[in-house]
Structure 1
Amino acid sequence: MNKDIDLHHDPIRKLLFKMTTPGMLAGLVITSYSLLNMVFASQLGSVEVASVAFVAPLFVMIQAFASGVIRGGVSIIATLLGEKSPQEASAYAIQLRLQILVLSVLFCGLGLLLLPFILGIANLSDDLYSQSLIYSQILFLSIPMSLVHLLYESFFRSQGKMGIISKISIFGIVCNVALNALFIFVLKFEIDGLAYATLLTTVIQMLVAVVIYHRGQHEFSLAWRTPAGFSTAQIWRKLMIVGLPLSFSQASTHFGFMVLNIFIVQYGYQAVAAFAIGNAIHSLLFSPAKELGAGLIPLMAQNWGRGSVERVRETIRLGMIYSVVFGIASGILIQIIKYPIARFLTKDDVVTYQHIMNYVNLVGWTVIAWTIFHTLQAIFNSFQKTMFTLFVDVVRLWGLRIPGIVLFYAFIPSMQEYGIWNTMFISNMITALFAVIYFVKVIPPMLDRQACTMNSIESVPKPQSV
């Protein structure tokens, strides 16, 4: 058990602060990383900003697919630790690492092979195509290191060691800023300099995470051979059953952004740049809100594994209160910070600036609903109910967003990009409402059943010693 945090006995309020604050700080840092890339890209021009924006969803979609496998695996590992099964947790961690290594090589190879085709079918202008291809080909080389870093970060998370994650994230953003400044201002690189800075930062972060992890003491071992008595096939099967729904869910979200970009690019590169900058402003507070939910997973999973139903209930109650308060504060703050950030990134580009204002004025408020949604999603994932996550994201993309965009495009073409902004707002609100309904119908009854089971076990009289 982590010396600083006892997930099974410390007060829930104290644990929530310790578990979520470092993760939220890391989320803020990670989002700042994307925003800073936009800042450096804006020094090169609007086409470069649009290129970074167009490639980012494809790159993040691949990361998100592997991240789903990792998150599913971490919920299993945390539950096993709660059940006091460290050897089995070790077996799952070893096989999870092997899965991620295989996926990272596969995604990197396929990505590099298919990039010209993917960018070609998007019907980009010549400038946007050439800049996007240069940036993406270098960026995709970082996929293996990025996924290994995410994996080790999740191993820390499964044991409640959240402070290390935020420290590595802060270290990474400092490296990224320094390397971007070196490549862009000193060595006079162009968009390829942004990609090289990201690649080198990812390598450094991965090495730091791996070295720190293997020098520390943990609740489960991480060797290269699975402990005797555990079936590798069964472990892979469970990792896939739990992780793949999360993978497809998270990947579908970013695939949706790729589809959005294909529609938005029809209104010019300025609209694409505005969408990217608007998303960066929105994500500046959305990512910490998302990490708030992620911090709940090991706390709930370990206590659920121990049968501590009341601690799970308390975690859910306080987690939801925190998410509502943080969501409202974030929605207000986004509307304040949008002006200075948009002005700085657009310089004298009035058209791009106005696009950003239109986008953030509407979509920025959905951070409230989205914070609640991700907290609920973390609750579902803690109980390994990952099929809901897949279902709701598929419905949001294919049942709401894409049909909505097509309808606006076909029947109200005069709205232009406003139709896309409105579709995003509506789909986000409906998704959050659906998650609330699912939570009410599923989670409280499940907790009640588990509480009854535990009470029945405790009420059985123990045999008297002779």
Structure 2
Amino acid sequence: MLNNFIQTIYNLADTYWVSNMLGTSEVAAMTLVFPVIFLTLSLGMGINVAGTALISQHTGAQQKKEASKVASQMFAFTLILAVTLSIIGFFATPYIIKAMGGKGDVLKYSTQYLQIMFWEIPGIFMFFVYNSIKQGQGDTLTPMLYNVCGVVLNIILDPFFIERFGIKGAALATIFSRTIFVIIAVYTLFANRNSGIYLRLKEIKIQKDILLKIIKIGFPATIGQSASALGFIILNAFVISYGDQTLAAFGIGNRINSLVLMPVMGIGSALATIIGQNLGANNLERVKLAFITSIKLSTLFMVVGGIILSLSSKHVVGVFIKNDPEVFALSNQYLRIISTSLPLMGFFQVFIGTFQGSGHTIFAMIMDMGRLWGLRIPLILLFRKFASWGPSGVWYAMLLSNAIICVVGLFIYLSNVWQKKVITDNVVAS
């Protein structure tokens, strides 16, 4: 939970300083490009999901050597992929922003911010590898500590960099503060051989059978995350059609909402590890107990969080918006509507953690894609044509899509098809 909270603080810190030191256009620019960053990261997230599933199941089955082989393949493939995406993204940025409907100041600021942020991709992908290895072993504390150091440095550097470089400074501060601790974290994977799972330079080479297994498990997660990111790009295109103020309000509301969602995101991540380790150990009863416990915890956190957010939305929004009444009103409206669906988001994260931890990422993909492409975007189009709700139609579509997809997740869970292990007794399955 703390690790997810810290990740959220990265975005909140940038949003806070940009909104207070620069203006609405810069906040709208950051909001516009966020799904593009998420789309790029989704390619690495799939490898992270596959690594967590395989390493946790090998750990539960006491197969440390096989787990180390998976870790080495993740590192080699992820490094190549990250550098390639950074180069492509840097040169493609202006065309991407124009295709998303960016114009005027939003186009200028979005391009400046996104081109720099693409050089953060290798650092983030390497930390995905580190986090996957540690999480697969059940260690969520060490990655959290590195993230704490990074976010504290980012908060300190943001105002100085933004004052000197404008919106580009927010990106530079984030890259600098994150990369330093990523380098340290990755170094420990090679230096610390007492943990049982570590990297060796001579093993950092492509091994086809293991890599194909990682890709087989990770590909559905990548497709699901990518489709989700593309859906948010389309969603942003709808939102920006209502004006820069609406897009800025949407961005601020999402940052605040993600902070409230932090507990259930942590529960989902922890659940993936527990599911994987106990499936590896053939302890199906504990798998089911972990699921039920996670549902109870997420419901408690999200009901309390929804009530607090609904009652305090004006005060929270006021921290970010001081001189734009329209953005303030739209942000407050968004938070009050979306707070009612927070328990549903808790269920969603538990289902995703269950299916990812079991290695049956196809079901997580179905939920990710179905929520946005099968439900949310069609509902937005429907409300836009037949209702006169304006931007509120987007908020209501988000609420309804969350409810329906949770029903889908429940049916998949009850089918029990996700309970089969994705490893063999002795080696990684081919």
TM-score (norm 2): 0.93
- After superposition, the C-alpha distances for 1:394-414 in whole angstroms (9 at most, x for unaligned) are 2222211111122222333x3
2:387 is aligned with 1:409: no
Residues 311/122 of structure 1: CA separation in 2 closer, same or farther (3 Å cut):
closer
SS of 2:261's partner is helix
One-letter code of the match for 2:408?
Answer: F
Q: Tell me which stretches of 4 or more aligned residues in structure 1 moved more than 6 Å.
A: none
- After superposition, the C-alpha distances for 1:175-221 in whole angstroms (9 at most, x for unaligned) are 10111022134xx3211111110111121121231234444322223
Residue of structure 1 equivalent to 2:425: none
Query: What is the distance in 1 between the residues matched to 2:317 and 2:292?
Result: 37
Residue of structure 1 equivalent to 2:125: 147
Q: How does 1:425-440 map to 2 (within 5 A)?
A: 425-440=399-414
- After superposition, the C-alpha distances for 1:224-246 in whole angstroms (9 at most, x for unaligned) are 34499xx9222121111110111
1:36 to 6, 9, 13: 13
1:85 to 63, 66, 77: 63
2:370 is aligned with 1:370: no
2:195 is aligned with 1:218: yes
Residue of structure 2 equivalent to 1:164: 142
Do 1:392 and 1:431's aligned partners in 2 also have CA atoms closer than 8 Å?
A: yes
Query: What is the distance in 2 between the residues matched to 1:251 and 1:338?
Result: 31
Residue of structure 2 equivalent to 1:178: 156
Residue of structure 2 equivalent to 1:204: 180
SS of 2:198's partner is coil
Residue of structure 1 equivalent to 2:166: 190
CA displacement at 1:349 relative to structure 2: 1.0
SS of 1:267's partner is coil
- After superposition, the C-alpha distances for 1:13-66 in whole angstroms (9 at most, x for unaligned) are xxxxxxxxxxx0111111122111110111201111111111111112211221
Query: What is the distance in 2 between the residues matched to 1:174 and 1:92?
Result: 32
Residue of structure 2 equivalent to 1:329: 304
- After superposition, the C-alpha distances for 1:316-356 in whole angstroms (9 at most, x for unaligned) are 22222212212212222222442222112110211101111
Residue of structure 1 equivalent to 2:424: none
CA displacement at 1:306 relative to structure 2: 1.5
CA displacement at 1:169 relative to structure 2: 1.5
- After superposition, the C-alpha distances for 1:248-300 in whole angstroms (9 at most, x for unaligned) are 11222222211111111111110010000010111002133112111122222
2:416 is aligned with 1:442: yes
Q: How does 1:233-248 map to 2 (within 5 A)?
A: 233-248=208-223
2:388 is aligned with 1:388: no
Q: How does 1:296-315 map to 2 (within 5 A)?
A: 296-315=271-290
One-letter code of the match for 2:336?
Answer: N
2:52 is aligned with 1:74: yes
Q: CA RMSD in A?
A: 2.0
Do 1:281 and 1:338's aligned partners in 2 also have CA atoms closer than 8 Å?
A: no
One-letter code of the match for 1:176?
Answer: N
SS of 1:415's partner is coil
1:48 to 12, 23, 26: 26
Query: What is the distance in 2 between the residues matched to 1:239 and 1:136?
Result: 29
SS of 1:161's partner is coil
Residue of structure 1 equivalent to 2:72: 94
Which blocks of at least 5 consecutive residues in structure 2 are unaligned? 422-430
SS of 2:28's partner is helix
Query: What is the distance in 2 between the residues matched to 1:39 and 1:337?
Result: 18
CA displacement at 1:90 relative to structure 2: 1.3
Do 1:139 and 1:199's aligned partners in 2 also have CA atoms closer than 8 Å?
A: yes
Query: What is the distance in 1 between the residues matched to 2:99 and 2:417?
Result: 44
One-letter code of the match for 1:263?
Answer: F
**Matched residues, number:** 419
Residues 298/51 of structure 1: CA separation in 2 closer, same or farther (3 Å cut):
same
Do 2:190 and 2:198's aligned partners in 1 also have CA atoms closer than 8 Å?
A: no
2:116 is aligned with 1:123: no
Residues 330/240 of structure 1: CA separation in 2 closer, same or farther (3 Å cut):
same
Q: Give me the identity figure in percent.
A: 28
Residue of structure 2 equivalent to 1:357: 332
Do 2:158 and 2:169's aligned partners in 1 also have CA atoms closer than 8 Å?
A: yes
Query: What is the distance in 2 between the residues matched to 1:82 and 1:265?
Result: 48
Q: How does 1:98-117 map to 2 (within 5 A)?
A: 98-117=76-95
Residues 307/438 of structure 1: CA separation in 2 closer, same or farther (3 Å cut):
same
